[in-house]
């Protein structure tokens, strides 16, 4: 099932649509299709368009300070922030794009916002016998001074929905109020899924991908990272649409 969750959004992603238009243009010698491919490629890859799209997906959320967050019964940190890279003797974990999830959870615990810090045991099928991400994060939190008895790691989970059910099974029924830590663009969908699992969720969005700055002429030139943000935004919107439709039907 996780393969379908990964592959289906690809069919509607910007890169897939561009390739489809290019193939159609080559097969039918269609100038219209070729022009549409060029326009879509340009629109998806310029910061002047990709940045507002990504801000909209982040829903204009704000980066909070730990002191401003209401106390809860647990802080839940979602996986998805580590890479596994070649080491001298074995594969080793390394920080990825969403490292702010980890530090956001630790700073909430340090601020006394909950007595328990929960890491989800993210592990995808193609990662083989690698250690679940939550266990790696727990060790790193220990090095930062978080007590061992204050942390728990959920069972393996392959996506956000599985994380929500795994955390619900892990925590006793009395635990209802949580602070949920994940990337800002991912918060809307994650919050909804954890609420469906029976939690009262206080969102703590981190890992904002668009910085605050003025507009420059460079924003109208194609940029690979802008294209990546557009693709990420589209995938997130497709994920929201999937769960919204599933709730209806």
The answer to whether residues 144 and 22 belong to one domain is no
Q: Mean pLDDT, to the nearest integer, of 78-105?
A: 90
Q: Which residues pair with 75 in a beta bridge?
A: 117, 179
What digits encode the pLDDT tens for the residues 31-70? 999 999 999 999 999 999 999 999 999 999 999 999 999 9
Average pLDDT in the chain: 92
The answer to whether residues 55 and 128 belong to one domain is no
Closest to 159 measured CA to CA, from 120, 199, 118: 120
The answer to whether residues 137 and 225 belong to one domain is no
| Residues spanned by the domain of 45 | 2-59+221-248
Closest to 120 measured CA to CA, from 176, 195, 194: 194
Instruction: Give the C-alpha separation, 194 to 72, whole Å.
Output: 14
The answer to whether residues 53 and 80 belong to one domain is no
Compute how many other C-beta atoms are within 10 angstroms of the C-beta atom of residue 29: 9
Compute how many other C-beta atoms are within 10 angstroms of the C-beta atom of residue 199: 23
Instruction: Give the C-alpha separation, 138 to 72, whole Å.
Output: 20
The answer to whether residues 37 and 129 belong to one domain is no
Q: What is the CATH number of the domain that holds 122?
A: 3.40.50.620
The answer to whether residues 86 and 181 belong to one domain is yes
What digits encode the pLDDT tens for the residues 106-135? 999 999 999 999 999 987 765 667 788 999
Per-residue model confidence (pLDDT) at position 197:
95
- Three-state SS for 175? coil
Per-residue model confidence (pLDDT) at position 125:
62
The answer to whether residues 82 and 199 belong to one domain is yes
Instruction: Give the C-alpha separation, 154 to 191, whole Å.
Output: 17
Please report which residue ranges of 123-203 form alpha helices under DSSP H: 133-143, 160-170, 187-196
Structural domain total, the chain: 2
Phi, psi at 132, each rounded to 5°: -55, 145
The answer to whether residues 51 and 92 belong to one domain is no
The token pair at 42 is: 């340009």
């Amino acid at each position: 099932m996780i393969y379908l969750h990964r592959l289906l959004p690809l069919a509607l992603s910007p890169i897939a649509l561009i390739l489809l238009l290019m193939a159609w243009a080559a097969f039918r010698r269609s100038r219209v299709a070729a022009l549409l491919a060029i326009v879509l490629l340009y629109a998806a890859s310029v910061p002047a368009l990709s940045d507002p799209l990504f801000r909209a997906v982040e829903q204009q959320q704000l980066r909070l300070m730990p002191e401003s967050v209401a106390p809860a019964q647990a802080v839940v940190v979602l996986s998805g922030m580590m890479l596994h890279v070649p080491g001298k003797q074995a594969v080793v974990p390394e920080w990825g794009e969403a490292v702010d999830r980890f530090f956001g959870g630790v700073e909430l615990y340090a601020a006394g916002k909950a007595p328990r810090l929960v890491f989800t045991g993210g592990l995808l099928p193609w990662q083989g016998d690698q250690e679940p991400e939550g266990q790696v994060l727990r060790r790193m939190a220990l090095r930062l001074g978080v007590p061992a008895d204050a942390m728990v790691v959920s069972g393996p989970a392959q996506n956000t929905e599985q994380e929500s059910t795994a955390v619900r099974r892990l925590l006793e029924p009395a635990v209802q109020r949580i602070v949920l830590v994940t990337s800002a663009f991912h918060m809307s969908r994650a919050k909804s899924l954890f609420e469906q699992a029976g939690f009262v969720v206080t969102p703590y969005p981190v890992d904002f991908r668009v910085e605050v700055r003025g507009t420059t002429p460079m924003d109208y030139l194609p940029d690979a990272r802008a294209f990546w943000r557009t693709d990420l935004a589209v995938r997130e919107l497709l994920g929201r649409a999937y769960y919204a439709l599933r709730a209806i039907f």
